[in-house]
């Protein structure tokens, strides 16, 4: 589904990714693991086109999208829930979701997807005309995920869905991520600080450190890997 | 009391012109976070487009409502194109440069249009043709001209149309989304460049309308006519809270009313411009976010 080959990204003079290659298989949940500043967010931002790539290739469905603008990648079925959620605080919940479906014209299918989102996150439906800026962090995360789903993506990238969110809500959001993956067969690329939780729902994982890929493997194995246990799960 | 109401009405009329121009400043600021100082000149070009179009159309249609509406639409369309053109050729290549660079460039575009206008069109003022015969109307104690009422009604219609566009249409919502977070908007599949073009088109069309409305009331136009109203409308936009669309409308009306009352008092009338700009200084000192805006911390 998503192939990344030897990706290099720089911020000015500083290279943040030194040639990272990952592969995300269709219908799977894949996790990127790494400490703060390892380059996980940078990788996602490069994949959705928010920052330019210096070298390497990004392929979605075997088509090269390395140089495409972000809005074109959305049209190709790549959705990105960015770090910090970035909901439109000045728009209502309903308007935020409508923006998610910005490129779509299939009204009945949009209505179905909207129902699906409200089913996943009933809290959103209760607050439909409220401004997104008035929501709690967890609710904003739900909205950000719902908004991304409305673009009808084939591949969904989630950046730190648990950041700054109450633990109870985190559990709920992760359950819904699994639900989305199961019900829709949606491919998911997940970046998450809570490595335990992330590996629990994933089938494969990549470990990134300071802009390099260290190692990768099936989530089951990574959970028992002493290197992962020691570095990211507090021993 | 009658004088008060009369002055209030005159102030509303002047304020409506300011408000229409201020909307363009505030919309562009809302999206790109810079002041398009060439905006006052778009207002001037609007008046000139109507002037030249009138010389072609009036022999065909004669003066009257039809001519007025046609010229208004022609000026708005022409300036929409001008605004999009300015953004496309001048501001877009500088999109990722420091904001100060863009600001200075905007002042350059403004001077270019002012003195380019003087050079091509001549510095001498031109007499704008009469589109609608002037008559006096009594609204209770207030004496108004039919032309002033045309200005108020046209302004009201345009503002309601703008409100509908921004609040209810998909493109308008996208505009608000872009103004809140450009990156997040692009992740929705919104083409930011297109939204920016539309913003310039709409803002410039409103300025053109203001230019035509001004010209039917004060029928002399010249290439520097955009300078003062442009600055005043900028003050109005900041007064209402820059980036805030209802704020620009309110700011324009407040400024027009304050200025008219100052101008109506023999003591203050020489200082009417000073009072308008003084208002800006006071506001920036005490309520920097503007009347309807909220204060934000500028990231440097």
The domain spans of chain B are: 15-230+241-246
- Cross-chain residue pair A91–B180, CB shorter than 8 Å: yes
Write out the H or E segment, with its range, that includes residue A169.
helix A167-184
Tell me the pLDDT of chain B (300 aa) as tens digits.
Answer: 788 999 999 999 999 999 999 999 999 999 999 999 999 999 999 999 999 999 999 998 888 999 999 999 999 999 999 999 999 999 999 998 998 999 999 999 999 999 999 999 999 999 999 999 999 999 888 999 999 999 999 999 999 999 999 999 999 999 999 999 999 999 999 999 999 999 999 999 999 999 999 999 999 999 999 999 999 999 999 999 998 999 999 999 999 999 999 998 888 889 989 998 998 899 889 988 888 876 555 444
- Residues B279-299 have pLDDT tens digits of 889 988 998 888 887 655 544
- Residues A91-108 have pLDDT tens digits of 999 999 999 999 999 999
B interface with A, Cβ–Cβ below 8 Å: 170, 173-174, 176-177, 179-181, 183-192
Instruction: Please state the pTM of the whole predicted model.
Output: 0.92
The alpha-carbon gap from A86 to the nearest alpha carbon of chain B, in Å, equals 6
Looking at residue A37, what is its pLDDT? 86
- Residues A112-153 have pLDDT tens digits of 999 999 999 999 999 999 999 999 999 999 999 999 999 999
Write out the H or E segment, with its range, that includes residue A81.
strand A78-81
Search chain B and give the residue with CA nearest A84. Answer: B184
Search chain A and give the residue with CA nearest B188. Answer: A100
Model ipTM value = 0.94
Closest partner residue to B187 (CB to CB) among A82, A89, A98 is A82
Distance of CA A118 to CAs A19, A130, B92, B221, Å?
40, 15, 39, 58
Count chain A–chain B contacts defined by CB atoms under 8 A.
Answer: 67
Give the whole-angstrom CA distance, residue B107 versus residue A70.
Answer: 32
Structure tokens belonging to residue A127: 């607050």
Give the whole-angstrom CA distance, residue B3 versus residue B18.
Answer: 22
Nearest to B232 by CA among B272, B269, B266: B272
Mutation target to probe the B interface, by most B beta carbons within 10 A, among A47, A68, A70 is A70
Which residues touch A76 (CB under 8 Å, ≥6 apart)?
A60, A61, A63, A65, A68
- Residues A6-20 have pLDDT tens digits of 999 999 899 999 999
Q: How confident is the model at residue A234 (pLDDT cuts 50, 70, 90)?
A: low
The alpha-carbon gap from A179 to the nearest alpha carbon of chain B, in Å, equals 22
Structure tokens belonging to residue B64: 């009257």
Tell me which chain A residues have a C-beta less than 8 angstroms from the C-beta of B185. 88, 99
Distance of CA A224 to CAs A192, A193, A229, A235, B212, Å?
18, 17, 7, 11, 75
Q: CB count, 10 Å around CB of B267? A: 7
Q: CB count, 10 Å around CB of B145? A: 15
Looking at residue B300, what is its pLDDT? 41
Search chain B and give the residue with CA nearest A83. Answer: B184
Mutation target to probe the A interface, by most A beta carbons within 10 A, among B188, B194, B243 is B188
Give the whole-angstrom CA distance, residue A189 versus residue A202.
Answer: 9
Q: What is the DSSP string of A12-36?
A: TTEEEEEEEEEEE-TT-EEEEE--T
To the nearest 10 degrees (0 to 180), the angle between helices B39-61 and B99-121 is 30
Map out the domains of chain A as residue ranges: 2-86+157-232
- Residues B146-190 have pLDDT tens digits of 999 999 999 999 999 999 999 999 999 999 999 999 999 999 999
CATH superfamily of A2-86+157-232: P-loop containing nucleotide triphosphate hydrolases (3.40.50.300)
Structure tokens belonging to residue B149: 């009422």
Search chain B and give the residue with CA nearest A148. Answer: B188
């Amino acid at each position: 589904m998503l192939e990344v080959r030897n990706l290099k990204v720089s911020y000015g003079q500083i290279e943040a990714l030194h040639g990272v290659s990952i592969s995300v298989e269709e219908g799977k949940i894949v996790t990127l693991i790494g400490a703060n500043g390892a380059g996980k967010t940078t990788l996602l931002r490069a994949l959705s086109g928010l920052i330019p790539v210096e070298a390497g290739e990004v392929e979605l469905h075997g088509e090269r999208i390395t140089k495409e603008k972000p809005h074109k990648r959305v049209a190709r079925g790549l959705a990105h829930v960015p770090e910090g959620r970035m909901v439109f605080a000045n728009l209502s919940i309903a308007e935020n979701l409508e923006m998610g479906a910005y490129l779509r014209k299939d009204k009945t299918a949009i209505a179905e997807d909207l129902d699906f989102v409200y089913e996943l996150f009933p809290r959103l439906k209760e607050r439909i005309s409220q401004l997104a800026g008035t929501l709690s962090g967890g609710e904003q995360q739900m909205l950000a995920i719902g908004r991304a789903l409305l673009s009808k993506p084939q591949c969904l990238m989630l950046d730190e869905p648990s950041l700054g969110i109450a633990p109870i809500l985190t559990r709920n959001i992760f359950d819904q991520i699994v639900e989305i993956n199961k019900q829709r067969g949606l491919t998911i690329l997940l970046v998450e600080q809570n490595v335990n939780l992330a590996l629990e729902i994933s089938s494969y994982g990549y470990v990134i450190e300071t802009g390099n890929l260290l190692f990768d493997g099936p989530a089951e194995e990574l959970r028992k890997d002493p290197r992962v246990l020691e570095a990211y799960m507090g021993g | 009391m009658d004088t008060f109401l009369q002055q209030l009405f005159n102030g509303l009329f002047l304020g409506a012109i300011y408000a229409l121009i201020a909307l363009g400043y505030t919309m562009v600021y809302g999206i790109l976070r810079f002041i398009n100082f060439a905006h006052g000149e778009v207002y001037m070009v609007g008046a000139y487009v109507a002037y030249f179009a009138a010389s072609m159309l009036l022999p065909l249609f004669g003066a009257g409502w039809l001519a007025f509406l046609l010229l208004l639409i022609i000026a708005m369309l022409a300036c929409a194109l001008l605004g999009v053109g300015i953004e496309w050729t001048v501001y877009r290549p500088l999109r990722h440069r420091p904001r100060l660079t863009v600001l200075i460039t905007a002042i350059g575009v403004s001077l270019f249009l002012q003195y380019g206008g003087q050079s091509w069109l001549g510095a001498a003022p031109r007499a704008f043709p009469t589109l609608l015969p002037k008559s006096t109307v009594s609204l209770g104690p207030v004496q108004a001209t039919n032309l002033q009422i045309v200005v108020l009604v046209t302004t009201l219609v345009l503002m309601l149309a703008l409100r509908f566009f921004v609040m209810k249409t998909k493109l308008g919502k996208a505009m608000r989304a872009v103004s809140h977070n450009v990156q997040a908007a692009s992740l929705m599949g919104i083409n930011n460049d297109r939204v920016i073009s539309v913003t310039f088109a709409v803002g410039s069309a409103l300025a053109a309308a203001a230019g035509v409305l001004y010209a039917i009331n004060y029928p002399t136009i010249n290439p520097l006519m955009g300078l003062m109203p442009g600055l005043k409308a900028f003050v109005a936009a900041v007064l209402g809270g820059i980036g805030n669309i209802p704020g620009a409308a309110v700011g324009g009306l407040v400024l027009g009313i304050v200025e008219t009352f100052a101008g109506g008092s023999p003591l203050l009338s020489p200082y009417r411009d000073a009072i308008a700009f003084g208002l800006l200084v006071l506001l920036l000192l005490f309520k920097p976010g503007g009347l309807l805006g909220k204060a934000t911390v500028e990231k440097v």
